[in-house]
Chain A
Amino acid sequence: MGVELANEAMLKLNKVSKHFGGLAAVQDLDLVVMPKEIISVIGPNGAGKTTVFNLITGIYRPSSGDIFLAGKSLSGLSPDKVLRRGIARTFQNIRLFNNMTVLENVLVGQHAQLKAGIIGSTFRPPGVVREEAEARQRAIELLSFFGSELVDRQEEYVINLSYAYRRRVEIARALAANPKLLLLDEPTAGMNEAETLDAVKYIQRLRDELHLTILLIEHKLAVTMGMSDRIYVLDYGRKIAEGLPEEVRRDEKVIAAYLGTPTKRGQKQESVE
């Protein structure tokens, strides 16, 4: 479903494949994200989910197939060009600039929107001074999306923050680029239950208040099921199912991929939820 609506699609992957040597990490993947949707990509470890993200953001190049953002091909673009087109992302293992402060991290996120060049940076004409002041103001606004704690700790090195706060800074850095589409790679990894609930809330607020389209990879099924509009399931680089959370939950192939044999299903679901 959804493929026929491709004209209005925010993001569209068309038969995208990626081979590492002989290994097919992603194979003939079709994926569509409509504006304002929250779409999850799930699958067992090594299913190729992160590779999909790397293909979309230009870190990897597809072996075949094409990727479109709002109808325009992203093929051959470097990561910074992809960001300028409107796709920002976070990473599974949080890749912040650890020896920079919270504020500086978010300022780097605004790099593409700021204009100061080497001459402007050196002599600081009023335009550059204003731009820099506005950038700081905006960075603080972005941090305040996650409450006052990060605003208060704006001058802290990110490495001194807790895991959950680092995730937020990483999202704030991604937001700083004014993206249309936000890719979140396991946004609740390593978080406890309370932090996870909190994360779910702010991810939904990202869509509702900032009107972002969100594509996310998630391991915690409960999280995924709760907030996704649609879910794609990958296994061994292939899409094995897609649809509404309820449909995916009952899909035989998904259950098999996730839980091995159907007999274990009961226990496993309990432990996950």
Chain B
Amino acid sequence: MAIANTFVPARNTRAILIKWIVGLLVPVAVFTFVWSGEAIINNALLGVFGLGGVSDIAILVQIALFLVIFYATVIALAGYLVAADSGLRGMIEVWVDILVFVLVPLFLVISLGLIIGLALCAIIWPVYFFARRRIYKAINYTPPTPLLNLKVLSDEQRVELKNRAISGSFWFSVALAVVWLVVDLIFYVSGSLPTSLLIWVVIRTLLLPVAGYFLGRLAGVIALRRTIAAKSNGNDGNVSDGAGKRVRQRQLEKLSTTRVREEAKDLVPNDLPLRSTGAQRFFLILLVAFVLFYPVIDPFLFGFGTAGRLAGYGDAGYYVILALGLNIVVGFAGLLDLGYVAFFAIGAYTWGIFGSTQLTNVLNLAPINPHLLSALFWPMVIVAALVAALFGVLLGAPTLRLRGDYLAIVTLGFGEIVPIVFLELDQYTNGTNGIVGVHSPSFFGIDWSVITPVPYYYLILALIAFSIFVNVRLRDSRLGRAWIAIREDEIAAASSGVNLVTTKLFAFGTGAFFSGIAGAYHTAKLGGVSPDSFSFGDSVIFLAMVVIGGIGSIPGVIVGALAVYSINQFLLAQLDSLAADPSNPLFAVRNAIAHVFTGFTFGNIRNLIFGVILVVIMIYRPEGLIPSARRRRELHEVEEEGVEVGALGVVPGAPGFESEVRVE
């Protein structure tokens, strides 16, 4: 009986089951059959059987890990979604969401490559959000209030929730197994599936439902953890579980709609399970697995040219670190910094001067052993970051009394001065020639000078992971609260015990620290420093990354950095080469324009297009691609009353402050 309950879904859950099985099966099928999932597996298996394909054991292990993680996560996700869905949103709505957010990117990435595909998504999504809002308005549809069905689950309901998760995962993997079997049979009949793999087809078809059952149990546990008692508060730590739940329920009922909408993301059952915190964990696992094993699976996904692509991603990576650092200054502390490139330059030149023969030449010392120098890269990353942080504090000090526009102008000045100083100190920096011959890092004796970008790819991954870790920890700390408080109201912050001077200097210093890391990495990867990589334009690009991604939001600025980098450096840079292909629609466009303006190329108007794209994103999504909750509230509820805080020219208590501001 219990078994029947588990596997045969109740009548009311069947719709939900169909909704999510179809919703997830389509993207997984596209990945597996249209793209390269099947090719990766088959090549790996052929390698295992010794019939060609991949033969390197290390690569095989990585591929196997990736595939197991990928399919297991998706199957568990199916169970979680079925369990967590409150059923309030219709099938069509969910499928449209999956179409826009999963299928469209998938097809764009498959046909145009990873970076261009994602860059186009960054343009398409804001337009989609805007259009959806318009349509909702036109048909007078308001999404249901979250937490309508807010309730503490009874034990019976908890069991049912778990059963739903099991049936979700189980039936999803059955469906996947059947579809896969049918497709493989077609492949076999058409002759593109080697006979030796048939045994795998049988094993897989039998294995998937079993795996589905156990992964469903796991998904059920995960979903249950997010039911209403999930978030316990300090004040009800000593009461029994049931009472704690009721306290939590009472608290939720008293929250305003805006806050409830944010809190509702955590909870199960959920109106928008795809966007709930639980589902985000699954997405994170998928993303981490993808990024971690990317160098191995890239050849299957995109064919030849892995090295070049990986090098490109390495460049995108240091933009992420820069954006994360700038986010501390601009997003958390609210200090507009237009000269951020200065600290990037300081970090870059620190390793540039030390890591080449530059320093020893100038000081007339014997050159340091190159092997030792390569190993010294690791401590020098920290030194470069600390040097940048020191200058962040030094340059921040004179700007402490300024805010808003005035601060921006002074930082703009610093952004101009620092690169010029490096240019003019040609005794140390080689002036306009820049520094060449910087040693590449080595890791436990493994020399990175071999022409492969893989070590740099993993290095930037590690650096990004470290930057995100520090960012998240600082945001949720005493210091992070003080930064946000300063952004909100300097006078109130000072009157609450926040030392404006040290807190602002910490913001400048921490922000500069990360640009120092990015700078050292930049130099190491390039093998040199060129003085023209540090212009005012770069500062503006960094700022655009933070603003487009969502000021103050850590996932936002990461996405913003990637989006701006890929639009600016990839999409627009490739327009001309795309237009050279007569089969491409851009070919006709370019010729039409060139007919009127002779000698026209897309390169001529590259900055214009970039500017237009930025303007469009800002018009349709002023809060950024992934806004922080605070910022979203600010932009969308301006009608609410609030105390206006004007720009402070002078630190409270300083002489001259009174003429600036009247505090009431």
- Assess whether B493 is interfacial by the CB under 8 Å rule: yes
Query: Which residue of chain B has the shortest Cβ distance to A106 in the bound complex?
Result: B496
The interface stretch among A83-91, A253-261, A263-271 is: A83-91
**Would you call B496 and A157 a contact (CB within 8 A)?**
no
**Would you call A112 and B663 a contact (CB within 8 A)?**
no
CB distance from B508 to the nearest CB of A (A): 12
The interface stretch among B214-222, B482-490, B515-523, B540-548 is: B482-490
**Would you call B479 and A118 a contact (CB within 8 A)?**
yes
**Would you call B254 and A118 a contact (CB within 8 A)?**
no
Secondary structure class of chain B's binding surface, majority of residues? helix
26 cross-chain CB contacts under 8 A? A20-B659, A50-B663, A58-B653, A59-B494, A60-B663, A78-B494, A78-B499, A80-B499, A91-B491, A95-B489, A95-B645, A97-B489, A100-B630, A108-B493, A108-B498, A111-B496, A114-B478, A116-B478, A122-B469, A133-B234, A140-B233, A149-B254, A153-B251, A156-B254, A173-B496, A174-B496
**Would you call A124 and B495 a contact (CB within 8 A)?**
no
**Would you call B256 and A59 a contact (CB within 8 A)?**
no
User: Known contacts A20-B659, A59-B657, A60-B653: does B491 contact A95 (CB below 8 Å)?
Assistant: yes
**Would you call B234 and A137 a contact (CB within 8 A)?**
yes
> Which residues from chain A contact B275 at a C-beta distance below 8 Å?
none
Contact code string A110-145 (vs B, CB < 8 Å = 1, else 0): 111110111001111000100011001100100000
- Assess whether A181 is interfacial by the CB under 8 Å rule: no
Q: How far apart are the CA atoms of A157 and B640 in the complex, in Å?
A: 12
Those 6 A-B pairs whose CB atoms lie nearest each other, nearest first: A112-B497, A121-B477, A95-B492, A79-B494, A97-B488, A160-B256
> Which residues from chain B contact A198 at a C-beta distance below 8 Å?
none
**B496 CB contact (under 8 Å) in A60, A83, A99:** A83
Q: Which residues of B contact A (CB under 8 A)?
A: 233-235, 247, 250-251, 254-256, 258-259, 263, 469-470, 473-474, 477-482, 484-485, 488-489, 491-501, 506, 510, 630-631, 633-634, 640, 642-643, 645, 651-653, 655, 657-659, 663-664
> Which residues from chain A contact B496 at a C-beta distance below 8 Å?
80, 83, 88, 108-109, 111-112, 173-174, 176-177
Interface hub of A61, A88, A104 (most chain B Cβ within 10 A): A61
> Which residues from chain B contact A156 at a C-beta distance below 8 Å?
254-256, 259
User: Known contacts A20-B658, A111-B498, A136-B234: does B652 contact A59 (CB below 8 Å)?
Assistant: yes
CB distance from B388 to the nearest CB of A (A): 15
Q: How far apart are the CA atoms of A143 and B506 in the complex, in Å?
A: 30
**A79 CB contact (under 8 Å) in B254, B474, B480, B652:** B652
- Assess whether A107 is interfacial by the CB under 8 Å rule: yes
**A89 CB contact (under 8 Å) in B254, B473, B488, B495:** B495
Q: Which residues of A contact B (CB under 8 A)?
A: 18, 20-21, 50, 54, 57-61, 77-80, 83-84, 88-89, 91-101, 104, 107-114, 116-118, 121-124, 128, 132-133, 136-137, 140, 149, 151-157, 159-160, 173-174, 176-177, 185
Q: How far apart are the CA atoms of A23 and B89 in the complex, in Å?
A: 64
Interface hub of A77, A91, A110, A174 (most chain B Cβ within 10 A): A91
**Would you call B235 and A151 a contact (CB within 8 A)?**
yes
**A50 CB contact (under 8 Å) in B491, B500, B655, B664:** B664
**Would you call B664 and A91 a contact (CB within 8 A)?**
yes
**Would you call B633 and A157 a contact (CB within 8 A)?**
yes
Q: How far apart are the CA atoms of A58 and B478 in the complex, in Å?
A: 23
User: Known contacts A57-B495, A79-B653, A93-B643: does B481 contact A99 (CB below 8 Å)?
Assistant: no
> Which residues from chain B contact A108 at a C-beta distance below 8 Å?
481-482, 485, 493, 496, 498
> Which residues from chain A contact B498 at a C-beta distance below 8 Å?
80, 108, 111
Q: How far apart are the CA atoms of A18 and B630 in the complex, in Å?
A: 38
**A121 CB contact (under 8 Å) in B256, B480, B488:** B480
> Which residues from chain A contact B657 at a C-beta distance below 8 Å?
59-60
**Would you call A121 and B485 a contact (CB within 8 A)?**
no
CB distance from A103 to the nearest CB of B (A): 9
Q: How far apart are the CA atoms of A109 and B177 in the complex, in Å?
A: 58
Give 20 new A-B contacts, CB below 8 A, not counting A78-B494, A83-B495. A21-B659, A78-B499, A78-B651, A79-B494, A92-B664, A97-B492, A99-B488, A99-B631, A104-B481, A104-B484, A107-B481, A117-B479, A122-B470, A122-B474, A124-B473, A155-B259, A156-B255, A156-B256, A157-B259, A159-B640
> Which residues from chain A contact B233 at a C-beta distance below 8 Å?
140, 154
**Would you call B250 and A152 a contact (CB within 8 A)?**
yes
Q: How far apart are the CA atoms of A96 and B470 in the complex, in Å?
A: 27
**Would you call A177 and B489 a contact (CB within 8 A)?**
no
**B500 CB contact (under 8 Å) in A61, A80, A91, A137:** A80
Interface hub of B478, B630, B643, B653 (most chain A Cβ within 10 A): B478
**Would you call A61 and B653 a contact (CB within 8 A)?**
yes
CB distance from A167 to the nearest CB of B (A): 13
**Would you call A61 and B655 a contact (CB within 8 A)?**
yes
Q: How far apart are the CA atoms of A219 and B653 in the complex, in Å?
A: 26
**A155 CB contact (under 8 Å) in B255, B640, B645:** B255
CB distance from B237 to the nearest CB of A (A): 9
> Which residues from chain B contact A133 at a C-beta distance below 8 Å?
234
Q: How far apart are the CA atoms of A83 and B499 in the complex, in Å?
A: 10
> Which residues from chain B contact A84 at a C-beta distance below 8 Å?
497
CB distance from B72 to the nearest CB of A (A): 31
> Which residues from chain A contact B494 at a C-beta distance below 8 Å?
59, 78-80
Q: How far apart are the CA atoms of A93 and B492 in the complex, in Å?
A: 11
Q: How far apart are the CA atoms of A77 and B653 in the complex, in Å?
A: 7
User: Known contacts A59-B495, A97-B488: does B663 contact A111 (CB below 8 Å)?
Assistant: no
**Would you call B492 and A99 a contact (CB within 8 A)?**
no
> Which residues from chain A contact B247 at a C-beta distance below 8 Å?
152
